Chain A
C-alpha cells in the first residue's frame, strides 16, 4: 500500500535513533506515535507500521524481533492473515503469541464459552469470564496487546457448511481444535481452498504437531481414516496440562511464521512428538 509523503514525513519526524544492548543502532517509532499518526490521518495502525518498516523505521514493539526478522520480514507478517480455529488451550496461546509477533490479520473461530475447568490452561480464560464467549475474550486481549492487529471473529463452530468461507483467503490456518471430527472438517476445507494447515493436539504431558500442505495425506496418517476415527482421544482420560499445551501452541506459531516468511524447515509429512514426562522430543516421518 502507498501512503502519501505527508504520512511518511510524519513517521520520520517522530522516529528516534536508539541502540540495542549489543550497540547495534536502529531507528524506531513508539506505539504512542503510531497510534497518534493513525488517529490524525484515519489510516490504520497496521498500515502506519508497514509504511514505517518500508522506511527501515522499526516500530519499537518489534525491536526484539529485529535480529531474527528484517524490516521486510516484519512487514510481511503485518500483511499476513492467519486463521486460528479453536480458542481454548492451544488457541489462546497461539492468539497471544501471534498478536505480539505482529501478524496483521487474525481471523478467529470458536462458538464456545468459558467453563471453570478451562482455567488451568486457557490463557484467555479468567474467573470473571466464565460463561462468556471465547472469541470475544480473544478480540479484547489482542486489542490490549497490539492495536495494529486487525481482528475478525466468528463466534460459531466450524462446520462443513461454513469452513471454506471462514478460512478462505488465509495465508495459513492453525488447528487448535479439541476434537478429531472437527480437525478432519478443518483439514478437508483447508485442502479444498488450498491453504496450509498447522495442526497440533495434546493429552496430559504429551503433544504432537504437524504441518499439512493441501496435497499431503495429512491427518489420516495420524488418526487413520476419518470414518473410523473416534471423536476424542487420550485427552478424555489424561486432560491437558498448561505447560504442555503452551509449549505445543508455541510450536504451532513457529511453524506458521516459517510458512509466512517462507524459510526454515517445516514439519511437513512429519510429526514432532513431545513427551514432557521424559523430556523426549522426536520428529517422526509420516511417509
Chain B
C-alpha cells in the first residue's frame, strides 16, 4: 500500500481530465489580478502573490471580486494558455463557476475531505472530473 498516494471522491462542475503540480491558495482569488503572460498572481497581500498558476492544479478557497473581470481574467489567461489545468474549489461561488463554464476550465468541488488538508504545494495531482475523482501523490 502506497501511503503517499490517495484517491478522493469529488463532484464535477466542468468536465475534463488533467494532471499537474498542485498550488494551494487559501485566499479567494480574482483571476483578473493575474498576469496573463505568465499566470503569476499580482494581487498584493495575497496568499500566493508572486506565484504562477499556469498549467497547475489550483486548490482554491473561492472566487471573489468583480462579477465581470473574473470572466475576463479567465478569458485572458486562456488566450495565453496560462490557465490552471484544473481547479479544485472549496467554497463554490456562482461567478467563478460561470467563468469556468464559459472558458471550459475543468473544475471540481465537494472533495470528500478538506482539500487544504489533503493537498500541499508541489504534490502531484490528477483531477478526473468525468469520474469525479482526485488522485494525490504527496511530494515529500
Our verdict on whether A and B bind, yes or no, reads no
Question: B residues near A, CB below 8 A?
Answer: none
